[in-house]
Amino acid sequence: MPDDMNSELPRHRMLRVLQQRNLLGLLRFVAVLLGLICLFSLIFQLLMAYEGQSHSWVTGFYWTLSTMSTLGYGDVSFVSDPGRLFSIFVLLSGVIFMLVLLPFTFMELFYAPWVEMRAANRIPRKVDDNLAGHVIMTFYGPVASALIAKLKQFKYPYVVILPEADEVMQLIDHGINAIHGELNLPETYINARVEQASLVATTRTDIANTSIVFTVRGITKTTPVIATARDSDSKDVLRLAGSTRVLDLTHLMSESLARRAIGGNELIHVIGNIDDLLIAEVDASQTNLVGTDYITAQRQTSVSIVGFWDRGFFQVGEQDSKIEPHSLLVMAGSKAQLDEFNRLYCLDMQKDEHKPVIIIGGGRVGRATARALARRGIDYRIVEELPDRVPDSDKYILGSASDKNILRQAGIDKAPTVIITTKDDETNTYLTIFSRLLRPDIQIICRASMETSVAGLHRAGSDIVMSYASMGSNALFNLLQRSDLLMIAEGLDVFKVEVPQPLIGKTLEEADIKHLTTCSVIGIDKDNRTVTNPEPGTTLHAGEEIVLIGTPEGERVFLKLFASEKPVSNDSQ
């Protein structure tokens, strides 16, 4: 956003002013052309008198216009060389002024602004008068695109506000709800019914976000406003402006990358919760369950081992599935149950100071990931090719990560993990393949800027890919304050529903939910408490709520088979 955005006129007003100016310019051009026609008609009379011919002024204008327009009827003509030279000059002038400049000037100064004005008048500037409970976004990019997909899935209304009229039309052409308005004007948010909205999410620059938050807070004090921040100092400014929550996506990304690296003091990583039920991940290689089949492991532990991640895809643990060293287990349970699992099944891994994790990329995400690793007690080395990003530290290696000697200097021959953090997905794909060639057995964790790059990075050899767009959209969606739904990762949701009528009176074993839908029951809410990891013989009663975990597709199958409505909505909405 420009620094002087408060002085900008609304786009439709600017178009009207520009149209008026262009109309004056067109009139000036026409006046010049008429003056030229009159001058040529006068010279025509003088040259005709020189030749001894006499014609009326009407004939003079007739000859001038027919010559300039290249019609050239030939019924009136000069017989002397000066007259013929003048005819040539008038003809060439007509070609330039009437056949070139006049159409171009008309199109540029009148017709094009008129068309643009008509298009601008057709662009929506307000939402439907009955719209409520919607999400307002002020930018359209990868995060907003991913968020819109989730909102559509769960039937949340939304609207995108953009100050660029042409971008609004493009979004509308692609089936995305959008309106046009200046982001620093209160009337824009009044037109978007911000007081009836469930959430305002703004993901622009820190300065633009501050202006948006401040403007919204001038209209409503109750609607939650979520803003992203790049600089740490901006967080306090955004909170002071009135932001309900400030998201540091760089911090979220770095924490997600770091917690999945092998090693460190923490073996179990809580990634979300719904009520008092915790969802956690654990690297199977750091447990004594490797080689055990899932059914046996489930019977031995008090937590619910839901499944595992495999190259970006969540796999439900089946009876014939075994826990492999590369599996990233997904578990659910209470804090006490997770603590018990950590005590009984997690190995006491001895940290080796000579095996640091390699971070490729010393930008914002790379440096934040290094700090996150340090908090976990994991040593690291950062490979960066830009000298101005490399401080005088033994933690940094100056050079290109595409140079195998640089990676060997960083310790790739012994490192347990490589974390690739550059923001260019094509570069990350290359570095993933390159790292896999150098160390086929190394754990590769990669950042993806675009959702469309996730599958390709997995095919290239990344064990874990963290999508910036998915992470940001999940964080925003979870801030809708629903007590019945939690998106813990792209492709894995935790949701809560009241026991459907067809399942009342049945045991979990009789309901066979996991086999029919691939969703796992990880808890039952009754009497204001959550029973975690319920036994197969547990009977489902009316009025209780079951907590399930599964993929969005599994959730849709469950709702289609057993429920007639979507998950129970939050009472606070």
**Residue in this structure with the two tokens 């005709």, named with its chain if needed:** 48
144 and 116 in a single domain? The answer is no
Give the per-residue pLDDT at 2: 40
The whole-angstrom separation of Cα 142 and Cα 137 is 12
Give the per-residue pLDDT at 261: 82
Helix (H) or strand (E) holding 199: strand 199-202
493 and 423 in a single domain? The answer is no
149 and 210 in a single domain? The answer is yes
Q: What is the CATH number of the domain that holds 115?
A: 1.10.287.70
In angstroms, the Cα distances linking 352 to 165, 266, 414 are 57, 15, 10
Asked whether residue 82 is domain-assigned, the answer is yes
Give the per-residue pLDDT at 16: 60
Q: Is there a contact between 495 and 548 (Cβ–Cβ < 8 Å)? A: yes
412 and 459 in a single domain? The answer is yes
Exposed/middle/buried for 536, CB within 10 Å: 0-12, 13-18, 19+?
A: exposed
Give the per-residue pLDDT at 76: 86
438 and 505 in a single domain? The answer is no
Q: Which residues contact 443 (CB under 8 A, 6 or more apart)?
A: 261, 262, 326, 416, 417, 418, 463, 464
Give the per-residue pLDDT at 12: 52
Give the per-residue pLDDT at 352: 45
226 and 178 in a single domain? The answer is yes
Asked whether residue 257 is domain-assigned, the answer is no
Q: Tell me the three state secondary structure of residue 540.
A: coil
Q: What is the CATH number of the domain that holds 188?
A: 3.40.50.720
- Spacing of C-alpha 19 from chain mean position: 36
Asked whether residue 569 is domain-assigned, the answer is no
- Domain residue limits at 22: 5-122
Nearest to 405 by CA among 443, 434, 363, 427: 434
161 and 229 in a single domain? The answer is yes
Q: Which residues contact 453 (CB under 8 A, 6 or more apart)?
A: 425, 428, 429, 467
Beta-bridge partners for 307: 316, 330
Q: Which of 189, 214, 247 is the last residue of a domain?
A: 247
Give the per-residue pLDDT at 436: 94
Q: Which residues contact 114 (CB under 8 A, 6 or more apart)?
A: 19
Asked whether residue 457 is domain-assigned, the answer is yes
Asked whether residue 213 is domain-assigned, the answer is yes
Q: What is the CATH number of the domain that holds 554?
A: 3.30.70.1450
Asked whether residue 407 is domain-assigned, the answer is yes
Low-confidence ranges of the chain (pLDDT < 50): 1-9, 351-353, 564-573
β-pairing verdict for 464-467 and 485-489: unpaired
Asked whether residue 46 is domain-assigned, the answer is yes
57 and 156 in a single domain? The answer is no
103 and 188 in a single domain? The answer is no
Give the per-residue pLDDT at 312: 62
Give the per-residue pLDDT at 572: 32
Q: Which of 193, 219, 247 is the last residue of a domain?
A: 247
The whole-angstrom separation of Cα 488 and Cα 471 is 9
Q: For 75-96, what is each residue's pLDDT tens digit?
A: 888 888 888 899 889 888 888 8
**Residue in this structure with the two tokens 């390699």, named with its chain if needed:** 358
196 and 87 in a single domain? The answer is no
The total number of structural domains in the chain stands at 4
Give the per-residue pLDDT at 353: 47
DSSP class per residue in 68-125: HTT----SS---SHHHHHHHHHHHHHHIIIIIIIHHHHHIIIIIHHHHHHHHHHHS--
Q: Which of 470, 502, 535 is the last residue of a domain?
A: 470
508 and 426 in a single domain? The answer is no
Asked whether residue 29 is domain-assigned, the answer is yes
Give the per-residue pLDDT at 484: 58
Give the per-residue pLDDT at 213: 96
Q: Tell me the three state secondary structure of residue 505.
A: coil
451 and 489 in a single domain? The answer is no
Nearest to 297 by CA among 345, 349, 347: 345
Q: Tell me the three state secondary structure of residue 255.
A: helix
The whole-angstrom separation of Cα 288 and Cα 300 is 12
